[in-house]
Amino acid sequence: MAAISLALAGCDDAPSRPDSHDHDETDADHGSESAHDHDDGEAHDLISLSPEDRQALGIALGAVSTGPVGGWIELPGEVRFDENRIALVSAPVEGVIREVHASMGDSVEAGDLLAIVDSRELAEAKAAYLSALAALELVRPEFERERELFDRGVSTESRFQTARRELEEARIAVRSAEFQLDALGIDEAARDTLADPETGALSRYALRAPMSGVITQRHAVRGEFAEAGDVMPTFTIADASRVWVDAAIYGPDLMRVRPGARARIRLSESEIIETEVSFVAPQIGAETRTGLARLIVDNETSRLMPGAFVTVELEDGQAGRLLRAPASAVQTLNGESVIFVPEDDGFEPRPVRLGRRGADFVEIVSGLQEGDPIVVTGAFALKSELQKGAFGDGHNH
């Protein structure tokens, strides 16, 4: 009713002119931005809503920001395992595989037993370590005795120095044997059990999982001879809770993709994963002649299967940084574009001038400034309330 009253008042105050002049005056008014802004406060009503009404209408606030507007580049992508979450597991010793405890597709935890390898090389290294330990235990009391005799003046310095040299040589032999076992994957905890007849079988090597994940490849057969440093790993373990999605960038698009740009992985028409560009390769592939943009995606729900092809949409990095608002915030009211802004007592439709339009954002040429709070969800509901209020059945005043 307020809008109707204002219109009537305008008719009473305006002098009578020919129709053509009225038309020209109207066009001039619309073309003047200063006049348009001056009338904003009187052109539309304020919508007052209680907190309950706001919640019922799904009103959500955001802010005017700067960034690219529109422009998405559609590229083919492939899901891959994160190479930082893959383990190639092979025994560091030569030997015969005696037991296999895991198969392809099994989920394993770090430390789980995968296979037992019977290795003569390992037996020799363990035996050398035990021998060095035994030799050290023999020379240690001899050194202590010679030191005591030398301190009492009973033994000569030459005998004492000989005993000390033999002790140091024994210690060096033990350390050398320990280094050899370390190189074969036998840590300190395992070395402590070598002398135990129950657990210290010299030739047995326990191949264990170095990380948690799923076994994606297995090349282990009971009775097979495994060589140290085999090109083909005995097991491959991968953790797919986080994956890479590599998108191929073709020539015309190379300069339009930037690290940090928004990205979408489209699995279907209704299922989209929102993420961002983590890495853009600095070179073109020699064989494919394409660039590469990598997305690192959390995959706890296993929606992305490594090896699958997907459609990747990347935000156009050449769209520039413009003053923008979400497209959902813009409504058309009385033939002009408005965005609802919160006021102390409610929401007011603010006329805006728009520029470039994209699927998610529109450029704000005038009417709002960066950081201004706006309604980004529920704007259509506010428009409906305002239109109902024009007929006396709404919340506007």
Q: What is the rounded average pLDDT of the residues 308-319?
A: 84
User: Is residue 157's pLDDT more than 80?
Assistant: yes
What integer pLDDT is reported at residue 198 of this predicted model? 55
- Percentage of the chain modeled with pLDDT above 70: 83
Average pLDDT over residues 20-48: 46
Query: Confidence class of residue 287 from pLDDT cuts 50, 70 and 90?
Result: confident
pLDDT at 393 over 80: no
* DSSP string over 103-172: -TT-EE-TT-EEEEEE-HHHHHHHHHHHHHHHHHHHHHHHHHHHHHHHHHT-S-HHHHHHHHHHHHHHHH
More confident residue, 254 or 4: 254
pLDDT of 355 strictly over 70? yes
CA nearest 79: which of 251, 254, 267, 216? 267
Q: How far apart are CA 305 and CA 265, in angstroms?
A: 13
Q: What is the pLDDT, as a whole number, of residue 195?
A: 64
Q: Which helix (H) or strand (E) holds 245?
A: strand 242-249
Pairing of the two strands 95-100 and 86-89: unpaired
Q: In degrees rounded to 5, what are phi and psi of residue 356?
A: -65, 150
Burial class (CB in 10 A: 0-12, 13-18, 19+), 349: buried
**Domain 2-8+43-69+321-389 shares a fold with domain 72-84+239-315:** no
- Homologous superfamily of the 72-84+239-315 domain (CATH): Efflux pump adaptor protein, beta barrel domain (2.40.30.170)
**366 token code pair:** 């005038």
Whole-number pLDDT of residue 31 = 38
Whether pLDDT at 354 is above 90: no
Domain spans of the chain? 2-8+43-69+321-389, 72-84+239-315, 87-236
Is residue 387's pLDDT more than 70?
yes
Q: Which of 338, 265, 332, 353 is nearest to 79 (CA)?
A: 265
Is the pLDDT assigned to residue 338 strictly greater than 50? Answer: yes
CB 355 within 8 A of CB 364: yes
Which overall architecture, per CATH, does domain 2-8+43-69+321-389 show?
Beta Barrel (2.40)
* pLDDT number for residue 196: 63
pTM of whole model > 0.75? no
- pLDDT tens per residue across span 215-266: 999 998 999 888 876 668 899 999 999 999 999 998 878 888 889 988 999 8
**CA atoms of 371 and 324, how far apart (whole Å):** 10
Fold of 87-236: OB fold (Dihydrolipoamide Acetyltransferase, E2P) (2.40.50)
Q: In the prediction, which pLDDT does 320 show?
A: 67
Given this model, what pLDDT does residue 299 score? Answer: 94
Which pLDDT score, from 0 to 100, does residue 359 have? 74
Q: What is the DSSP code (8-state) at residue 345?
A: T
Confidence of residue 212 (pLDDT cuts 50, 70, 90): very high
Nearest-5° Cα angle at 89, 86 to 93: 155
Average pLDDT, rounded, for the chain:
82
Are 128 and 179 in contact, with CB atoms under 8 Å apart?
Answer: no
pLDDT the model gives residue 121: 86
Instruction: For residues 256 and 18, give the distance between their C-alpha atoms in angstroms, rounded to a whole number.
Output: 55
Higher pLDDT, residue 213 or 270:
213
Distance CA 392, CA 148 (A): 111
**pLDDT tens, position by position, 102-147:** 999 999 999 999 999 998 888 888 889 999 999 999 999 999 998 8
Number of helices and strands in the chain (H, E): 9, 24
